[in-house]
Amino acid sequence: MSAVWQAARAAVRRRRLQTGVVGLVVLVSTMTIVVALGLLDAASAPFERAFEQQQGAQVMATFDSAVPLPDEAGFDIGASLGVPALTAHRALTVAEDGPSRLRPGALDGKVVLAAGGAGAVGHAVIQLARWAGATVISTISTPEKARLATAAGAHHVINYREGDPAARIREIAPDGIDIVAEVALGANLALDLAVLRTRGTISTYANDGGKPVELDVPQNMVLNTRLQFLVLYTAGPQARAAAAQDVAAAVRDGALPVGDEHGLPLIRFPLDRTADAHRAVESRAIGKVLVDIAS
């Protein structure tokens, strides 16, 4: 057993590292699976070097790149946050008119569209936006995903494969959407632009499906569209620190619960089945894949 694993087991037995943080990630091939709890700043220099190598390295987060897990939160919550929650925070705080930080009331009067509300980031977008006071609409593709987005807290859930989703969104938000948190820009851009308000923001953190993005330049000029692409690793230390602080505050307020009843199923594997956990991630399992470290 490596020293990293011995340290991880000892940390879990203590329930906290000496600084009040548990933070361990395992790099399996090119994927990242959280196996101990804590909010990790994945952009720390040691992590970046290991991630770029993508050769199955094991990395313990340094104390100054992890965030204490609030006492009010269980380890399941800590293991389910990390990159998805911080990405969701970034998506909600890049609009021209702000806000740059999230707290209760920060998004009062705003309408947020969470594309793919059953995904890990979409789930966090729904929860953080509701905590901050926004009206939240989520687009999904199946009844089961609708159930999960609703359980996460979306006020309105729309199946984009049925009927006229743009018309249905406009009925809910006649003045348009303020912020779109987008997971599949190529596939969803036409819908996003059909419902976006003037000077609205499309925050893009992925392009699921890989469909090329084609921009109608005059349409976006008239809308004064803000297309904000984002990834945490290059967002800058101030943005990441602000996100970690606000997410921790939301956790303390009980705004980021996890589990099937809260819209994010937890799929568990023991440590000796880490390879199976990795395969679950690769097969796009719905929910959060967790690897439990035995005490």
pLDDT band of 72, cuts 50, 70, 90: confident
- Number of domains forming the structure of the chain: 2
Please give the residue range of the domain that contains residue 90: 85-233
Residues 168 and 184 in one domain: yes
Sign, CA torsion 173/175/180/185: positive
Q: Which two tokens stand for residue 265?
A: 């199923």
Residues 181 and 98 in one domain: yes
**Residue 180 within a domain:** yes
Q: What is the pLDDT of residue 55?
A: 45
Residues 75 and 156 in one domain: no
Residue 102, SS3 per DSSP: coil
Calculate the CA dihedral of residues 191, 196, 199, 203 and round it to 10 degrees.
Answer: -60
Q: Which two tokens stand for residue 177?
A: 């959407």
More confidently predicted of 147 and 31: 147
Residues 200 and 140 in one domain: yes
Per mean pLDDT, which range of 10-24, 84-98, 197-211 is the poorest? 10-24
Residues 67 and 110 in one domain: no
* % helix, strand, coil for the chain, step of 5: 40, 20, 35
Residues 58 and 196 in one domain: no
**Residue 111 within a domain:** yes
**Residue 249 within a domain:** no
Question: What counts of helices (H) and strands (E) characterise the chain?
Answer: 11, 13
pLDDT digits (tens, 9 = 90+) for 127-172: 999 999 999 999 999 999 999 999 999 999 999 999 999 999 999 9
Q: Is the pLDDT of residue 7 over 70?
A: no
Residues 126 and 146 in one domain: yes
Please enumerate in sequence order all residues whose Cβ is within 8 A of that of 83, keeping only pairs 6 or more positions apart, or say none: 32, 40, 42, 232
Residues 217 and 277 in one domain: no
**Residue 240 within a domain:** no
